[in-house]
Homo-oligomer: A and B are copies of this chain.
C-alpha cells in the first residue's frame, strides 16, 4: 500500500479533493524545486478567466491533483492484486507530477507567436532530465514511464492516454473553478473500476456509464469552455499582440519587456540548439504569466497604435466579437469586415491580420486511432468502448468536429 513509508505530515489543502498528501520525500523535494514552484504562476486555462472569472487555478494545483488521483489508482490496482514495486509507484507519481513541467505561460498562444517551433513536450523532456541529474539519477523509472518506454504499459497509460489521470483531474478541476457543472464526472467511480489485463489499462464493465459520461463531458467542456468563442477571441488577441510586439522588437522599435520575455523576442529558437543551451532553460523557467501580462499592460501606452490598441483591449477586456459556426464564413462578408476595419482604424491591408482573425478549430471527443479505452467484462473479454456502448456511436464520437471562427472589433459590426 502507498503512503506507508512517508513524510506523513505534509498535506496540501485543495478545494477540489480536500487534502492532497505528499507521498514521499523525493516527491516533496521535486515539489519544492523552483522549476515546479514556477507552475504556481502559470494558469491552467490561460485567458479563460476573462469568461469564467473563477478559472484562475494553476498548473501547480492541477499537477498535484493528477498525482493525487494517481495515488488512488495505484491503490486500486494493488488491491486487485497487481504487484508494483515502490520504485514503480513512485515513478508513476513523479511522471504525472511532472507531466506539465514543460508548459510555459499561455502555452498555446506563445507556441503560436514567439516561442516558435519548440513544443512543450520538448521542453518537458529537457527539464525532466535536468531534475533527474539533480536527483542523482533516481527518476529513471519515472522517465521511462513518462516517455512510454517502461515495460508495464499501463503505468504510462495512467499518465498519458485517453483515460489518464491528467484528463480526470483537469475535467474535474476546470469544472469546479469555472462553475460549469456540465463537466462533473464520476472520477472516483472510474478509478475504482480500473484494472489491468496483459499490461494494459482496462475499466471494469460496471464502470462503462461513467466512462461514457467522461467522454461526453470532455466534449462538452471543449465547446462550453476551452473553445468558447470569447476564449478563442481573447487567445487570438493575445497571439497577435505578441506577434506584433515581436515584430516591432525585431525591427528595433523600443519596447518595455521583462527580461525573460525579452530573451524570446530576441532569439530565433530551434529545438536542436536549445538542448545544449543552458541559457534557454534558465530564461524559460523564469517566464510566467506575470511577464506576459506585465509587458502587455505597459504596451497600452506604446506609440505603435496596433500594439497599444490590442493591449488596451485585452487588459480592459474589450474583447473582439467572435462568431463560431460549422460552415466557412462567406467571402464577401469577410471582405466587408476588412473594409470597415481599414476605414475605422486606418489600417493598411498588410496589418489587417492583427484585427481580423479567421480560422478553424476542431476537437474530437475520442480518438479511435490513439490508445483506446478498453472495457473488461466478467467473462474476461476485453472490448474497445465504442463497440460495446449503447450511447457512443463510434463514427460520431471519434469524428473531429471542426468549426470556423471569425473575430473582429465590435465596433465594425454591421
Contact = CB atoms under 8 A, between A and B. Distances in A.
Given A57-B54, A58-B53, A178 B13 contact: yes
Interface stretch (A235-243, A273-281, A389-397): A389-397
A290 B401 CA distance: 37
A231 to B, nearest CB: 12
Interface in A347-390: 365, 390
A8 B53 contact: no
Interface string A279-317: 000000010101101100110000000000000000111
B52 A11 contact: no
A343 interface: no
Given A53-B40, A53-B61, A316 B209 contact: no
B256 A298 contact: no
A51 to B, nearest CB: 8
Contacts of A8: 79-80
State the oligomeric state as a number of copies.
Answer: 4
A185 interface: yes
A125 interface: no
A4 interface: yes
A294 B296 CA distance: 12
Contact of A298 (B1, B4, B259): B259
A138 interface: no
Contacts of A224: 209-210
Interface stretch (A116-124, A158-166, A212-220, A264-272): A212-220
Contact of A391 (B51, B56, B219, B259): B219
A153 interface: no
Contact of A181 (B1, B32, B186, B391): B186
Interface stretch (A14-22, A107-115, A143-151): A14-22
Contact of A258 (B40, B181, B294): B294
B220 A19 contact: no
A137 interface: no
A134 interface: no
A209 B220 contact: yes
Contact of A220 (B41, B54, B391): B391
Contacts of A365: 391
B80 A32 contact: no
A298 B288 CA distance: 12
A1 B1 CA distance: 6
Nearest to A396: B393
A411 to B, nearest CB: 14
